Amino acid sequence: QVELVESGGGLVQAGGSLRLSCVASGRTFSSYSMGWFRQAPGKEREFVAAISWRGGNGYYTDSVKERFTISRDNAKNTVHLQMNSLKPEDTAVYYCAAANGVPIVIATTYRYWGQGTQVTVSS
């Protein structure tokens, strides 16, 4: 069992930055791949970023590459999403999720989900 709690969302102007955090509680955190997904009003949930259980480089949807960075700290059971150069199109509820399978860029792979944190980017 894994419980996930997101934080760090808020209101920011276009071009600004936010750093989202997700703290996991439970056992064997290091064996899970971790991902961030988002859902805007009237739109489908979409993949944003993911990082495998091995760590290293992350995977990103094209619209956030070179702006967002995912990282994990297994010693602290935490995953982060650093978001720079934010655009109004990034406005959404952002969800942290944990998976123990593949592919990690697909939402249905993930078993555990947080409650979400709102990110709003003004123009």
Encode the chain (123 residues) as per-residue pLDDT tens digits.
889 999 999 999 999 999 999 999 977 777 899 999 999 999 999 999 999 988 888 999 999 999 999 999 988 999 999 999 999 999 999 999 999 889 999 999 999 999 999 999 999
Kindly give the pairing relationship between strand 18-26 and strand 78-83. Answer: antiparallel
User: CA 39, 41, 45: angle at the middle one, nearest 5?
Assistant: 25
